Amino acid sequence: MDLSFNAEERAFQAEVNDFIAKNLTDEMKRATALTPSVFSDPDIGMAWQRTLHGRGWGAPGWPVEHGGPDWTPAQRWIFETECARAGVPNVNVMGVKMVGPVIIGFGSPEQKNFYLPRILSGEDYWCQGYSEPGSGSDLSSLKTRAVREGDDYIINGTKIWTTHAHHANRMFALVRTSDGPRQQDGISFILIDMKTPGITTRPILTIGGDHEVNQVFFDDVRVPIANRVGDEGKGWTYGKYLLEFERGSGIASAKLREGLRAIAELAESDLTGRAIDDADICTRISEVEIDIDALEMTELRVLSALQTGQNPGAVSSILKLRNSEIRQAVTRLGADVIGHDALAVEPMRPLYKLNHESAIPEDMLTVIPEYLNGRAYTIFGGTSEIQRDIIAKMMLGI
């Protein structure tokens, strides 16, 4: 495999770096550096989404006929890697990388014409209505129900761990529209306006002190049947398709590498008493770097498949599994590198909006919030146990 860039690709790399230098503001860069979550605050992330959209780069993975930039796999790789190195915000992840591909693959022409431009422009901000209090890894047991009444569905039930539901104006949700011998066959995929009467959003504060997730309640919420994506009862198929993109359509290795670099720099600094001189810390940094190299090679193979129109398939579970585990390894390493300073924790509210001087240096400010927030990496998007089951069944035939 030749991993060197040709002259055209090097020119594109220079174009991306020039674009970032001209458009990434100091506020955006600092906010991103001080965001412990994988989700940027909408006021930061959506501003960057609008900037990308203005350049025609708002959805790197989309087909060109729907607003994608028609990049080669190498260009996509260059773009995402340079963005990670520069510290750009995460954009409309649940719009661009999750519900967007489902609408493109299964939505009606009317849905494509209405929703896709609004995702690209940042006009709509999406949340995901999947998990319920009794349905997490066993998602097919979900009970939120949609009953037909005329041209509408009447929805009752609840969703939980709904990231940024307090910011979102739209939700894509899996709901039960019928009962049968197979739970999966009675589920439909619905697009919901979060301003619809009967929707209540309640915050859940996590271990890091942040308000990132919520519980959402539906009480006789009326949603047009026209908002259903694809066929009734086929939502399980569409939901699995979406999860493949959630788990396996991004370039995680570049951000992991930047996270590890920041920890390594802390380990070499006087702030940590040169923690790098500890043989255990030094060895762990090397081990994580090797893991990132291996993940990077798998991502390159998947990216090439995506560019030909294939969905990631079961390999997305490998990417999700390893990305989650490596992220946690990086955050554990960070906590050990700063040592007793880990006891001084600023709550996430968010950190870049703190209106007082912090007790710990800014370079160390996110280390413990990232560690605490990162405990969920091996749970959200499908637990590590579920990913291993998928790999065993679909790739190993066990």
Cβ atoms of 128 and 94 closer than 8 Å: yes
246 catalytic? Reply is yes
The reported pLDDT for the residue numbered 197 is 98
How many CB atoms within 10 Å of residue 141? 13
The pTM of this model reads: 0.87
Instruction: Write down the residue that tokens 């431009």 correspond to.
Output: 117
pLDDT of residue 355: 59
Q: Which residues of the chain have pLDDT under 50?
A: none
Residues 6+ apart with CB under 8 A from 27: 44
**pLDDT of the residue at 320:** 87
Burial (Cβ within 10 Å: 0-12, 13-18, ≥19) of residue 365 = buried
pLDDT of residue 4: 76
Other CB atoms within a 10 A radius of the CB of residue 287 amount to 12
pLDDT of residue 398: 76
Looking at residue 314, what is its pLDDT? 73
Spatial separation of the C-alpha atoms in residues 223 and 201, rounded to whole Å: 17
Q: Which of 244, 246, 296, 370 is catalytic?
A: 246
d(CA 1, CA 300): 11
pLDDT given at position 257: 94
